[in-house]
Amino acid sequence: MSFERYLSMGGTGRGTVVGADEGALIELPGWQMRIKISASDTAGAMTLIEARMAGGHTGPAEHIHIGHDEAFFVISGQLKFRVGDSYRTAVSGETVFASRGLAHGFSNPQLEEARYLVALTPSGYEFYFERLARLVRKHGTMPSQEALASLMAEHGTFLATTKE
């Protein structure tokens, strides 16, 4: 049996190796992300981001995506997640999944930095982070809640009702 009969099932024959300090860098106050695998690498199938969040960082406002799913893997430290209506602290080695349409969010209430990977399927949401970082560089601070909500909406993300 050969693999040729499976080629019609998809796959673009793409591959890449990205070094530890490689990938597009996105810097936000207290939060740094590196795009390890991007939409252009996967024909839009997925994005992989390696991130560091400073201790005490409140994270993004709790939100709902309508266009992609997210899977987080905590490399080191701890992150507090909202997934649906519940909250849980994820520690090194644990994985958290939030599908599109589900309210979620995360923060780092600990003193030490947290490192994590997040896979987004399909790709594209990295463009939101790039636009947000440009706004922060331009204005020297995070945008207002109103401006942030507008930018999020342009990328299929909407603020969720806070549970805590």
Stretches in the chain below the pLDDT threshold 70: 1-12, 163-164
Give the pLDDT of residue 13: 73
Give the pLDDT of residue 54: 98
Give the pLDDT of residue 6: 59
Give the pLDDT of residue 1: 53
Residues 6+ positions from 23 with CB-CB distance below 8 Å: 34, 35, 36, 50
- In tens, the pLDDT along 5-36 reads 656 666 557 889 999 999 999 999 999 999 99
Per DSSP, 63 falls in state E
Give the pLDDT of residue 9: 60
Max Cα distance, the chain (Å): 59
Give the pLDDT of residue 5: 62
Which CATH fold topology does 23-157 show? Jelly Rolls (2.60.120)
CA atoms within 13 A on the CB side of 35: 21
Domain borders along the chain are: 23-157
pTM, 2 dp:
0.90
User: Which residue, among 135, 136, 66, 128, has the nearest Cα to 102 in the 3D structure?
Assistant: 66
User: Which residue, among 112, 118, 126, has the nearest Cα to 50 in the 3D structure?
Assistant: 118
